[in-house]
A and B are shown apart, each in its own frame.
Chain A
Amino acid sequence: MRLSPLPHPPTGAIDVWPVALAECTHAAVRLLAPEERSRADRRSGEARRRFIASHAALRRVVAAYGRRTAHAGDVVAAYGRPPRAGCGLELSLTHCGDLALVGVATAPVGVDVESVLADADPDHVADLAEMTLGDEEFQRFRMTPWPMQQTMWVRLFVRKEACLKAQGHGLADAGLTDIDALDDETTERSLRDLAIGSDHVAAVALRSPITAIRWREL
């Protein structure tokens, strides 16, 4: 149990909280805001469990910085929009299977995680690449041999998603092909790959230069 609240990340720093969602208690649903409970109720089985667990984890992370996690809605993660903590902290939540990541910073932040494509169909990956990559990115993809194309596409995809989230957008708001995922630094954002094991690919984006990435534990 954490005895004293964590300080907010300094300018440019991102705290990354990996969370295992395998355990979810009935008590966790009480931490969710009504809107989130409604969204949870539209899911069933594993999808519902992971939704509840990941959003409850978001509140536990916020609590680590000294903010209360009352279920009345200190933190509301509206669909497609970054969750707001209301205390100078910017948040981003992502999950893939039973792994969730929460990114915390003092500037708009985006984090995304996907699983490494297992037994992917080369044609399907090529279709995804042509649909979601910009011209230069697609050229580099085509020059990359299979099976390395799989990891390359997933890595570019999570980088794009992280950028979208840092901008406050969802996949239905802005175009993936319009987002430059090759460069770590642009005038609008800073982007880094995250080392998260061999089964997943992850990235984090910040709308200011990234100075540090700090791994935290609940």
Chain B
Amino acid sequence: MTVTVEEVTEVVIACLAEKKGADLDAIKDELAAAGPEFPYDSQWLVSAGATASRRLDVKLKHAKRNARAFRSVGALSRYIHELVIEREAA
């Protein structure tokens, strides 16, 4: 049974908190205050994305076609979720 987008989002947020050395609940509060898509600094999302990709066993590429995925936790989570689905379908 594949992971859901919500579960991927939890992984991304956990990775973000880990990379920032921040409290998980504090990061969640910060994201909730930023908006429903959880927009965040792209540099941190690059770092969190790299960690999340290893944990979910997918390969992310910061290429033009998916650069927008690094605009928010929501977009990044959906991008990673698509890769998980592709991997499981292969």
B48 → A minimal CB distance (Å): 11
| B54 and A131 contact, CB distance less than 8 A | no
| A172 and B68 contact, CB distance less than 8 A | yes
Cβ-based interface call for B67 (8 A): yes
User: Interface size of A by Cβ–Cβ distance < 8 Å?
Assistant: 17
- Binary A-proximity of B64-84 (CB < 8 A = 1, otherwise 0): 111111110000000000000
Cβ-based interface call for B34 (8 A): yes
| B64 and A178 contact, CB distance less than 8 A | yes
Query: Which residues of B in the span 44-74 have a Cβ within 8 Å of any Cβ on A?
Result: 45-47, 49-51, 53-54, 59-71
| B64 and A171 contact, CB distance less than 8 A | no
| B70 and A177 contact, CB distance less than 8 A | no
- Residues of chain A within 8 A of B2, CB atoms compared: none
Residue of B nearest to A178 (CB): B64
B82 → A minimal CB distance (Å): 15
- Residues of chain B within 8 A of A175, CB atoms compared: 61-67
Residue of A nearest to B71 (CB): A172
| B67 and A124 contact, CB distance less than 8 A | no
| A128 and B50 contact, CB distance less than 8 A | yes
Residue of A nearest to B42 (CB): A171
Instruction: Using known A-B contacts A131-B62, A171-B67, A172-B68, determine if residue A124 contacts B50 with beta carbons closer than 8 Å.
Output: yes
- Residues of chain A within 8 A of B49, CB atoms compared: 131
A173, B75: Cα distance in complex, Å: 13
A201, B47: Cα distance in complex, Å: 17
| B46 and A131 contact, CB distance less than 8 A | yes
A132, B61: Cα distance in complex, Å: 6
A90, B60: Cα distance in complex, Å: 33
- Smallest CB-CB A-B distances: 10 pairs: A171-B42, A175-B64, A172-B71, A175-B63, A127-B50, A176-B62, A177-B63, A128-B50, A131-B60, A175-B67
- 22 examples of A-B residue contacts, CB within 8 angstroms: A124-B54, A127-B51, A127-B53, A128-B47, A130-B59, A130-B61, A131-B46, A131-B61, A132-B62, A171-B46, A171-B62, A171-B70, A172-B42, A173-B67, A174-B64, A175-B62, A175-B63, A175-B64, A175-B66, A176-B46, A177-B61, A177-B62
B residues engaging A (CB < 8 A)?
A: 33-34, 42-43, 45-47, 49-51, 53-54, 59-71
6 new A-B contacts at CB < 8 Å, known A176-B46, A177-B61: A124-B50, A130-B61, A171-B46, A172-B67, A172-B70, A177-B63
